[in-house]
Amino acid sequence: MPAPLSRSPLTITLAVWKALLLREALSRLFGRRAAWFWLLLEPVFHVAYLMVIFAVIRVRHVGGIATPLWLMVGLLAYFMFQRASRQAMNAVGSNQALFVYRQVLPVDTVLVRAGLEGAVMVVVTMLMLAGGALFGLRVVPADPLLVLGALAGMWLLGLGLGLCSSVVAELSPEGGRLLLMLMRPLYMLSGVVFPIAMVPQPYRDWLALNPLVHGLDAVRLGFAPYYHEIPGLDLGYLYEWAMVLVLLGLMLQVALARRMVMQ
């Protein structure tokens, strides 16, 4: 049974993606003991302790919607971005052994990891919303398309950042560490734990330069149309950032693929 003499580049790429996806899914879900359980537990705990804090300071509503829903939805949207970008950033380093096969390129590992993480987060989101419904939260979105569009935008931004940062982290470990340090305040600046809409001017406009703010508030607005979102909410702005980062990332990947493999 002779191997196909020449496969088209597309066939090869698809075969590589499939193989990588199965390989990544195995280690992500079963790599450590009950790894799949921790994937879910982490956001659950995160929401839970934020809810405790908000209960202690007696904030029942934020921007017109119930605090638990506001927190949960915003955090899930943020995780969609953060986990995708974090996983993608480490993709090249963790798959170094596989670049002996010339069919496998660094960019393949980044794309597959971000894709897998997006799928994982969709499942986590559904499960957490179902859990919220058990506690009497109104978890059915009023505008499902807006929610999906915003979540997709957050994922795309994560992918774009992951494409860029995986190159930086692989070629200069110091750069990677610096990037992680710079990203840390994003959690505070994205409006996960406090409503950006309540920040006084001119600081609010400055914070609104962060595309994550738009994604987060769009998701919340999709769940509850009476939510007081930040003025000038613009999902297109999130997508512009995402597209620029994705394009830049792909260019970096093409230009520097060789140097990431051989060191």
Partner 1 sequence: MIVVRDVYKRYQTDHGPGPWVLKGIDLVIPPRTNVGLIGRNGAGKSTLLHLIGGIDQPTRGHIERLCRVSWPMGRGGGLQNTLTGRQNARFVCRIHGHENDMADRIEEIREFAALGRMFDEPVKTYSAGMKSRLQFALSLAFDFDVYISDEVTAAGDAAFRNKAQKAFRRLIDRAGLIMVSHGEETLKQFCTAGILLHEGRAQWFDDIEDALAAYKESLQA
- Binding residues for partner 1, per CB under 8 A? 1-5, 7, 11-12, 15-16, 18-19, 22-23, 26-27, 31, 95, 97-104, 258-259, 261-262
Q: Which is nearer to partner 1, 31 or 185 (CB)?
A: 31
- Shortest distance in whole angstroms from residue 92 CB to partner 1: 14
Query: At its nearest, how many Å lie between partner 1 and the CB of residue 97?
Result: 6
User: Token pair 């790429």 is at which residue?
Assistant: 13
Residues 6 or more apart from 157 whose CB is under 8 A from it? 81, 85, 211, 212, 215, 238, 241, 242, 245
Based on CB atoms, which residue is closest to partner 1, 31 or 144? 31
Least separation in angstroms between CB 96 and partner 1:
9
Closest approach, Cβ 98 to partner 1, in A, equals 6
| Shortest CB 159 distance to partner 1, Å | 22
Chain centroid offset of residue 32 CA? 22
In whole angstroms, what is the distance from residue 231 CA to residue 242 CA?
A: 21
CB closer to partner 1, 1 vs 140: 1
CB closer to partner 1, 95 vs 190:
95
The H-or-E segment that residue 47 falls in is helix 35-56
Report CA 38 to chain centroid distance, whole Å.
Answer: 17
- Residue number, 21 or 179, with CB nearest to partner 1: 21
> 127 CB contacts (<8 Å, ≥6 apart)?
40
Q: How far is CA 103 from CA 17, 108, 171, in A?
A: 10, 10, 21
Least distance between partner 1 and beta carbon 42 (Å): 20
Instruction: Report the residue number, 3 or 140, with the smaller CB distance to partner 1.
Output: 3
d(CA 10, CA 81): 28
